[in-house]
Chains A and B, each alone.
Chain A
Amino acid sequence: MKGIWWVLIAVLCSLTAESHGQRGTFMTADEFRELAFPDSEPESGTLWLNAQQQERAAMILRHAYPGLRVRYWRLGQRSAWILEEVGKDQPITMGIVVEKDHIADFAVLAFRESRGGEIRYPFFTDQFRGLTLSDRGDPPALSGSVNGITGATLSVRAASKVAKLALFFHRQVMAGGTSGAD
């Protein structure tokens, strides 16, 4: 009977010859920009956060935004943001494309936690497409629910917060907030 376990090990080892990483960098910033604006040259800009914007960002994140400004790319009504948020211990780097008032695309660029790496797969990230920032609720909520992943609760929460933050920043830029082209 003990032999079963050694067989299992051998099977696992062979299966893992082509592996999929939990942790790592899956997309560079340039690749994300190309994904967000295929065959186009967007303007890069900086949103300088005033006190009120800092306060709203802190409400969304449930902690202070760790910076004075946010860089983005923009082309017309479409903007793209690379933001970070800690899941359990380590920051997760995520890219969010916003068009008009909704999320057009969501990607995990780098994942550094030892658990919850499943959030990088399209079966999870596709849930963010089409979501908007609901004006009801304080802090503001996403317009639809995002189904979680068991054992990855904190990573899922981080992704949801960053999605809300990108929608909020996009609104500020489109409203002519404290921003400027680089």
Chain B
Amino acid sequence: MKQKVTWGNWTKRSFGAMGVLGLTGALPLTALAQTTPSVEEMWRIIQKQQEEIRELKSELDEAETKIEETDVKVTATADTVEQVISVESAQGRDTVIGGYGELHYNNLDNDLAGGDDKDMIDLHRFVIFLNHSFTDDVRFFSELEVEHSLAGDGKPGEVEVEQAYLEWDFAESHRAKAGLFLVPVGILNETHEPDTFFGVERNNVESKIIPSTWWEGGLGTSGELAPGWGYDLAFHSGLYMKDGKVGNVRSARQKVAEAKADDYATTGRIRYTGLPGLEVGLTLQLQNDVLQGENIQGVSSIEGLLLETHVAYQNGPFLLRALYAQWDFDDEIEELTPGADKQKGWYVEPGYRISPQWGVFARYSLWDTEAGGNGDSEYNETNVGVNYWLTENAVLKADYQVQDAPSGASEFDGFNLGVGWSF
């Protein structure tokens, strides 16, 4: 049987070489006959090589298929792993635990003759947040706080529920809340984690005039009116000034603990955050009756209006906070506490972030809880200090304060140290 032979390069090269060898006569013909394969042998070699090539190609195709299959398997495994991670993290996000805390050391001399100095170390606040999302639109927020470490009869501290409310997104840009929530006023009242502000202790204007931390029970709505413009409106429980403490706003917080609810209060706030680093806020609050229907020495009702406005600005490393707050109570309050019909305070606080870790600040604050009278009742305080952030949420603080108090009142000068965290 005659077969058609296809000569490959090897064969051509071989015959070429043979021709050259024959022409040169370099090898005897007998030797050439012994080393050169016959045509039949050549054909067998070629057939064998072609078979090997076929096998190699088959193996290569098989390897490529396996690589493709492995690629599909790896991708499928990655899909599954990432899906599991995603599901687990999504499940974890339904219920979130957080918290913050701060320990303070005060070393303050009292300039009042005979007055006690303040040398104290105190776990001022230890707070746990517990939040839960029921659905994409309905959430629960809570904040449980232990103040001054030890609570109970005769102990210095308190256990307080400072937030416990439901929030519902009732429209695309609006949410409503019901329960116990922080009053939308000032800079610190709603955002007071220690790593977010300068100074060991919170400033006195937001403690004594506003008075932070301030929470009430009721209903509220918040949202956005236009890019950068936000609003809050809340109807909630009111202050209650007891006999002997009329005019003292801070002690009038009922903390929603079997609170008298003969009369309520309304708070409205407008906020502008339309420029990077800038917040401007304006809050008005009406207290319908801070006596909550009681008659004290012939005074049966006192209405109060709180006005608060502030600016917080950051431009690169430069920081600035400034706030003004004032109360106007009905003149009848004068019959119980002279000068208490007007209470006011303000502060200005420039700061500078030297680096992500270091920041320095200075603050001048002034407050007067009997500004309606003619007497000497005004306090002022100057603070300078430094924050060192170990990480974004853990901070060490130090500041020095010089206070100027009315005659006959305690006047504290000295330094404070603090450590704070949040997560």
Contacts and interface: CB of A to CB of B under 8 A. Distances in A.
**Same complex origin of A and B:** yes
Interface of A: 1-2, 4-5, 8-9, 12, 15-16, 19-24, 62, 66-69, 86, 88-91, 112, 114, 117-118, 121, 123-124, 127, 141, 145-153, 157
B277 A149 contact: yes
B412 to A, nearest CB: 29
Contacts, number: 115
Nearest to B277: A147
B222 to A, nearest CB: 9
B191 to A, nearest CB: 6
A22 B173 contact: yes
Interface string B226-239: 11100101000000
Contacts of A23: 169, 172
Contact of A20 (B227, B278, B288): B227
B188 to A, nearest CB: 11
A171 to B, nearest CB: 22
Contact of A151 (B174, B190, B303, B391): B190
B228 A121 contact: yes
Given A19-B172, A69-B78, A153-B196, A12 B225 contact: yes
Contacts of B93: 86, 89-91
B228 to A, nearest CB: 6
Interface string B55-99: 000000000000000000000001001100110010001001000
Given A19-B174, A20-B226, A121-B227, A150 B131 contact: no
A123 B286 contact: no
Contacts of A149: 273, 276-277, 279
Contacts of B278: 150
Given A67-B85, A153-B196, 10 more contacts: A16-B174, A19-B174, A19-B223, A21-B173, A22-B224, A67-B78, A114-B169, A123-B276, A127-B276, A152-B273
A17 B250 CA distance: 38
A15 B225 contact: yes
Interface residues of B, number: 51
A123 B274 contact: yes
B228 A24 contact: no
A24 B136 CA distance: 10
19 contacts: A4-B286, A8-B233, A12-B231, A15-B225, A16-B171, A19-B172, A19-B173, A20-B224, A20-B225, A22-B224, A23-B169, A23-B172, A62-B391, A66-B82, A69-B78, A89-B93, A112-B136, A147-B277, A151-B279
Contact of B228 (A69, A90, A118): A118
Contacts of B136: 112
A124 B275 CA distance: 7
A147 B314 CA distance: 6
A148 B277 contact: yes
A148 B353 CA distance: 13
Contacts of A147: 276-277, 314-316
Contacts of B96: 88-89
B192 to A, nearest CB: 12
Interface in B145-200: 167, 169, 171-175, 187, 190-191, 196
B345 to A, nearest CB: 20
A28 B383 CA distance: 49
A114 to B, nearest CB: 6
B266 interface: yes
Nearest to A117: B224
A4 B173 CA distance: 24
B268 interface: yes
A141 B356 CA distance: 10
Nearest to A9: B233
